[in-house]
Structure 1
């Protein structure tokens, strides 16, 4: 079995926010492969199905971003899934919108969800798909930025990023890590500059993450 996890915060107030792009990739895969992810277990919404001939558990931790590792550790232990069969998808502010990068190991890069997963697993050696949400504009608090919704202008690029990340999962399952990385880690499109005057009315009040 493979475990594919997307990170985000639970609750309708966080739907469509930058920090929840991992959830959106999981939702895309679930819809495309008709996998029901409404079962709640191990502090996560999950669903089991077949993707590219592999038995897969799609996972959306419901612990809030900063505690994602609690759920991931429980799931991997319960289902006896080796780290080689685990992949996590999350947002990255260092990448242009719509860009996807695969990495087999590395630090959290300031992402609290990944930091917590590394702490609970005791290693940073696991496959991750980073989906670019664009750099934080000057004058913005990081929490405000990642908990803001995407602007209408950003949505086409973000949708492209979601589809690219879903395709990266398919490549990983069908052809392995090396091919998935070679096909996914191509030159990024030129980053569009964000205005520091984006409406902060888009920002949610709570700041988990």
Structure 2
């Protein structure tokens, strides 16, 4: 009876409108946590999502398995994730936040560094191998699929034989650092395009830029 009276007189608290799951996107920037890894090549995923957050005045908060920032662009909600699990266990954080936010796999984009691309170049793909990247390898193993969107940012391969690990964990050169601001801005634009226009359009417009 009480519930009926509340409905009759409009006393029920208005419910929060549910977010359309097709308009929610999980944007994952891969990297390693801690000051020693700041500004290193392997952390470019962190840098891209940080750039996007700054442009939209969104703030990261430490949550379970990662730092999270949320922003809205033209009716889309973007959930930015920087896993706190370290690179080799990225899949754990990705899997948790996909389920926590109820984001469909097709609306996830993983941003990572790529040794096989020239510095600053962008390549987006809908699926593919891990390419030897430990972060992608763990995501693939955890999700049991290679069919997820990925954004590869070129860091080039200018390292001596046997020095790959040292290279990816080293800071950018002064020349690279100068060029990085523009490259990060373009990368943030590509992420926005993914959410607003879809993966096919974004690949056509940003691959090779």
TM-score range normalised by the length of the shorter chain: 0.7 to 0.9
Task: Tell me the alpha carbon deviations over residues 25-50 of structure 1, each in whole angstroms, 9 at most, x when there is no partner.
Answer: 01101100111112322x01002221
Judge conservation of contact 1:97–1:157 (CA < 8 Å) in 2.
no
Aligned length: 186
Measured in 1, the distance between the counterparts of 2:61 and 2:195 equals 23
Q: 1:191: which partner in 2? A: none
SS at match of 1:130: strand
Secondary structure, aligned partner of 1:3: strand
Give, in whole Å, the separation in 2 of the partners of 1:140 and 1:167.
Answer: 35
| 2:28 matched residue in structure 1 | 5
The CA RMSD over aligned residues, in Å, is: 1.3
CA distance in 1, matches of 2:50, 2:166: 24
Flag the structure with higher helix content: 2
Larger Rg: 2
CA deviation profile, 1:55-109 (whole Å, cap 9, x unmatched): 1111000101000001000111122211111001010010111101101000000
- Structure 2 residue runs without a partner (length 5+): 1-23
SS of the residue aligned with 1:16?
A: coil
Superposed, 1:1-209 pairs within 5 Å as: 1-41=24-64, 43-186=65-208
TM-score by length of 1: 0.85
CA distance in 2, matches of 1:15, 1:25: 13
Mark the runs of 5 or more structure 1 residues left unpaired by the alignment. 189-209
Q: Which moved more, 1:151-160 or 1:162-171?
A: 151-160
Q: Give, in whole Å, the separation in 2 of the partners of 1:47 and 1:90.
A: 18
**What is the distance in 1 between the residues matched to 2:150 and 2:159?**
25
Give me the TM-score of the superposition, normalised by structure 2: 0.85
Q: Which moved more, 1:150-159 or 1:65-74?
A: 150-159
Q: Secondary structure at the match of 1:154?
A: helix
Contact 1:171/1:180 (<8 A) preserved: yes
> In 2, are the aligned partners of 1:97 and 1:161 still within 8 Å (CA)?
no
- How far apart are 1:139 and its partner, in Å? 2.9
Distance in 2 of aligned mates of 1:58 and 1:35 = 10
Structure 1 stretch displaced more, 62-71 or 152-161: 152-161
> Distance between the aligned counterparts of 2:37 and 2:158, measured in 1?
18
| Other structure's SS at 2:109 match | strand
